Structure 1
């Protein structure tokens, strides 16, 4: 039997600080890279690429079945054909913040339009 900790999903948040004229290009590049990660790495659950209204930030949210799956995908992202560091240079990111989180609770809308909160693990 797996431990509760191994059953928790894993989330990576990567926030980019950029100039507004770079935002759309970074959103496009991250979207393409995220699609490749989803297609080629087991354990992928979901992702989103989000842009701030002021044009100065982009947030990449990636959720994985486990920490190991997320870390393996990120290692690939670091050294892939368009590696992560090249993506940062190309879009002239002024700052990049990384966050890693285990999902402990999840709130979702059910098919009958009710909210439900579940404890993960």
Structure 2
């Protein structure tokens, strides 16, 4: 289960970043630690027209979006009649990883000539 969720949450977005050759200097370490959240960051910037306050508000609300990724993992366990008690550690790890990823993107780089955000 943990391997499937890791693939969904980390590996697929990382491969997408590699294929698009999108290396972002603003979020370099966060980009590779939390690639799904980086995808959300880029999506929020496109949706808001790069307005910093709107991007911050959307990032603050992003845990609500990312926690919905725990539902497929719980459904996967239910599908195979697997007990949740055996997988509490994996589910809590995923939950805290997603929460920490969202909090890591709350802190945006300062505006300036170097960064694209306003």
**TM-score using structure 2 length:** 0.32
Of structures 1 and 2, the one scoring higher in RCO (CA 8 A, sep 6+) is: 1
Report the TM-score when normalising by structure 1: 0.31
